[in-house]
């Protein structure tokens, strides 16, 4: 079914055929994704406590960033100087690239002058989150794969070896900002692939970012949040039986029920029956802390007492703008408005944001760009007002964020 669906999409888009890999993962895969500060780490740490699941947190994101650059090279023949730069929000983006991504499956050759650059980058970024994985990768003697799929399957085998056992039946990993990479994962692994998309109130994400996690520009977070929503719904539309939408607020309010609703079907497919929710554990086996950005953080328990902490963290301007900038047609769970705020857009100063974001701050909030960005957002809001509520998402929706 999955191969047929992928071929149908490819034919409909009149894409150049992409040779399918003959490599198939026998062990079912769970890919958890969401915008950062949305609860993805909590789910990864819950799965880490399951005896039959090998789970890693943020182990391979440069692999996805590099693959994006590879696809761009395939389309344009140009190599970016920033090979591992952050993934796009796709707002007003390149539809040719998006069409290629939707039909891709990691079958392309890895084009690096230094073939070990990819592994070094992954090692550095994985160390703070999945140290055991990073150290095992550094010691790996197998040469870098010819194709991207070769490297991916090596990484999954390492996850299995360092976080699993001979009893492991499912491999899981989570990455933030990278929901779009579920497309090539589905195209490669078919029915063995499961996506868990974590969605959280954008006000809470902004508050967490402001308080202790980089203090990113509001428009940047809003566009990434919209991207995640649109891609999640599009993937759910394509693969309804293998895409699970988990709302962080529901997980905190009804942890056992939401956990079992999400992961019981996946485990039943491998002959396992889970009846309870474990305590989240870090990779060293210790109980893991929830809500690390707030004073309400807890160890080994899932609680809901931080869900409204954004009220004490965000000012009125920030609330109005995040509500306005995250408005779209599909996700109506959270309070959003299509009305343009009357108060000024609250900019971040360079010393307020994390070091990596300082490079991009001028793009989002520089004097020359800010006016254009806000005009674009106003036009987007007007297009939503003038459009009918859609029942399905198209590739055009992914680019226009409506």
Residues 6+ apart with CB under 8 A from 88: 68, 227
Q: How far is CA 7 from the centre of its chain?
A: 25
pLDDT at 6 over 90: no
Boundaries of domain holding 261: 2-308
Confidence band of 389 (pLDDT split at 50, 70, 90): low
Domain count, the chain: 1
Average pLDDT of the residues in 221-233: 97
Assessment of whether the complete model's pTM goes beyond 0.85: yes
pLDDT digits over 298-322, tens only? 566 788 877 899 999 999 999 999 9
Q: Note whether residue 390 is domain-resident.
A: no
The confidence score (pLDDT) of residue 11 equals 41
pLDDT above 70 covers a percentage of the chain that reads: 91
In a domain, 313, yes or no: no
- Within a domain: 361: no
User: Is residue 315 in a domain?
Assistant: no
Q: Which helix (H) or strand (E) holds 320?
A: helix 316-325
Predicted local confidence at residue 25, as pLDDT: 54
pLDDT band at 42 (very low <50, low <70, confident <90, very high): very high
Q: pLDDT confidence of 368, banded at 50, 70, 90?
A: confident
Asked if residue 8 belongs to a domain, the reply is: yes
* Residue 46, domain member (yes or no): yes
CATH code for the domain of 67:
3.40.50
Place 105 in a pLDDT band, splitting at 50, 70 and 90: very high
Q: Does residue 232 form part of some domain?
A: yes
Does residue 350 sit within a domain? no
Euclidean distance between CA atoms 195 and 239, whole angstroms: 9
The dihedral region occupied by 66, where left means phi > 0, alpha psi between -120 and 50, and beta the remainder, is alpha
Token duo for residue 360: 């991009």
Percent of the chain residues topping a pLDDT of 90: 71
Q: Is the pLDDT of residue 367 over 70?
A: yes
* pLDDT confidence of residue 293: 54
pLDDT band at 161 (very low <50, low <70, confident <90, very high): very high
Region 82-108: mean pLDDT is 95
CA distances from 395 to 105, 235, 326 (A): 18, 11, 19
Q: Is 197 helix (H, G, I), strand (E, B) or coil?
A: strand
Residue 129 has pLDDT above 50, yes or no: yes
């Amino acid at each position: 079914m999955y191969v047929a669906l992928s071929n149908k999409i490819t034919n409909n888009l009149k894409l150049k055929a992409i040779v399918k890999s003959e490599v198939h993962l026998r062990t079912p895969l769970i890919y958890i994704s969401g915008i950062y500060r949305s609860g993805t780490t909590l789910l990864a740490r819950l799965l880490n406590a399951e005896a039959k699941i090998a789970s890693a947190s943020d182990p391979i994101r440069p692999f996805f960033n590099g693959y994006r650059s590879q696809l761009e090279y395939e389309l344009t023949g140009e190599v970016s100087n920033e090979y591992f730069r952050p993934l796009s929000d796709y707002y007003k983006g390149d539809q040719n690239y998006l069409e290629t991504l939707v039909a891709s499956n990691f079958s392309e050759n890895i084009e690096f002058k230094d073939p070990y650059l990819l592994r070094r980058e992954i090692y550095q970024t994985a160390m703070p989150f999945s140290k055991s994985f990073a150290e095992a990768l550094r010691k790996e003697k197998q040469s870098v794969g010819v194709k991207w799929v070769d490297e991916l399957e090596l990484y999954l085998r390492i996850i299995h070896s360092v976080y699993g056992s001979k009893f492991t039946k499912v491999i899981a990993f989570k990455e933030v900002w990278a929901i779009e990479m579920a497309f090539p994962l589905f195209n490669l692994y078919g029915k063995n692939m499961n996506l868990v998309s974590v969605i959280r109130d954008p006000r809470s994400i902004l508050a967490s970012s402001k308080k202790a996690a980089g203090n990113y520009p509001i428009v940047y977070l809003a566009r990434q949040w919209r991207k995640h929503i649109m891609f999640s719904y599009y993937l759910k539309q394509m693969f309804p039986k293998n895409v699970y939408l988990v709302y962080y607020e529901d997980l905190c309010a009804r942890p056992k029920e939401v956990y079992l609703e999400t992961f019981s079907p996946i485990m039943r497919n491998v002959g396992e029956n889970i009846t309870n929710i474990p305590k989240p554990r870090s990779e060293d086996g210790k109980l893991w802390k929830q809500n690390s950005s707030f004073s309400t953080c807890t160890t080994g328990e899932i609680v809901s007492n931080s869900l409204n902490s954004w009220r004490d963290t965000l000012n009125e301007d920030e609330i109005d703008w995040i509500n306005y900038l995250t408005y779209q047609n599909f996700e109506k769970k959270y309070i959003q408005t299509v009305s343009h705020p009357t108060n000024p857009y609250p900019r971040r100063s360079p010393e307020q944001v994390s070091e990596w974001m300082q490079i991009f701050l001028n793009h989002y909030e520089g004097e020359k760009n800010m006016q254009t960005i806000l005009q674009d957002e106003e036009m987007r809001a007007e297009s939503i007002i003038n459009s009918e509520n859609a029942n399905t998402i198209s590739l055009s929706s992914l680019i226009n964020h409506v």
